[in-house]
A and B are shown apart, each in its own frame.
Chain A
Amino acid sequence: NAGVTQTPKFQVLKTGQSMTLQCAQDMNHNSMYWYRQDPGMGLRLIYYSASEGTTDKGEVPNGYNVSRLNKREFSLRLESAAPSQTSVYFCASSEWPPGHYEQYFGPGTRLTVT
């Protein structure tokens, strides 16, 4: 039982490059989330998926896209990376609604954009 897994763990991109962050959960949760963590800012929600087939914007969606591939997998895409997207990205999953249930977090992806 791996919980929430994320790939890659580290990534360095040049400005303008694209990449996809992968996330998978094996807890049969309906809901999945992408957060970014920046020093002194806490966690900010980028996008979430309440259930398979649905996605919605969070607090800071600009510059990102997501795909809920199936119930297990939720990917985050940066189409044209910018230095402001340097951050640590966390994927999480839970039952719905998120405020009622514990969220389970992956280990994070540390992204640097130069």
Chain B
Amino acid sequence: AQSVTQLGSHVSVSEGALVLLRCNYSSSVPPYLFWYVQYPNQGLQLLLKYTSAATLVKGINGFEAEFKKSETSFHLTKPSAHMSDAAEYFCAVSGSDGNNRLAFGKGNQVVVIP
């Protein structure tokens, strides 16, 4: 079974500073990896996904994530935080063996300080 670990439920970042959200996964087969974002009182929407085509994945709103197999990680970054980045971010993993479940991490609530 696949699982995801996201540490630090709340992350504070200054406007203009680097955003770094860590995601480590556990999977017995090559994984599919996703980052979703949830703005207040809304459903989740896809930021980016890794499907083995390239290890550095670019997403919407200036976010990117790098897949590192040796570290079983898929950390999310953005060089310069904007006030509109305040949201909750979820990492999710699924196995490429046809496993039916997408396993979500517990999420990071990002607060942007002006």
A40 close to B106 (CB less than 8 A): yes
Q: Restricting to B79-103, which residues have a CB under 8 Å from any CB of A?
A: 90, 93-96, 98-102
A97 at the interface (CB under 8 A from B): yes
A42 close to B106 (CB less than 8 A): yes
Q: Restricting to A33-70, which residues have a CB under 8 Å from any CB of B?
A: 40-45, 48, 50, 56, 58-59
- B residues lining the A interface (CB < 8 Å): 9, 32, 34, 41-46, 49, 51, 90, 93-96, 98-102, 104-107
Choice from A4, A48, A99, A108 contacting B94 with Cβ under 8 Å: A99
- Measured in the bound complex, the distance between the Cα atoms of B9 and A103 in whole Å is 23
Contact sample, A vs B, 13 pairs, CB 8 Å cutoff: A4-B43, A42-B90, A42-B104, A43-B44, A48-B100, A56-B100, A90-B43, A98-B100, A102-B34, A102-B49, A107-B41, A107-B42, A108-B42
- Measured in the bound complex, the distance between the Cα atoms of B101 and A40 in whole Å is 20
Chain B nearest CB from A26 CB (Å) reads 15
B101 close to A42 (CB less than 8 A): no
A105 at the interface (CB under 8 A from B): yes
A100 close to B106 (CB less than 8 A): no
- Measured in the bound complex, the distance between the Cα atoms of B23 and A52 in whole Å is 34
Q: Which residues of B contact A105 (CB under 8 A)?
A: 43-45
B105 close to A42 (CB less than 8 A): yes
Interface size on A, residues (CB 8 A): 24
Question: Which DSSP category, helix, strand, loop or mixed, fits chain A's interface?
Answer: loop
A98 close to B94 (CB less than 8 A): yes
Given A43-B104, A106-B43, residue A99 in contact with residue B90 (CB < 8 A): no
Q: Which residues of B contact A56 (CB under 8 A)?
A: 100
- Measured in the bound complex, the distance between the Cα atoms of B102 and A50 in whole Å is 13
B94 close to A100 (CB less than 8 A): yes
Given A41-B106, A102-B49, residue A90 in contact with residue B32 (CB < 8 A): no
Chain B nearest CB from A56 CB (Å) reads 7
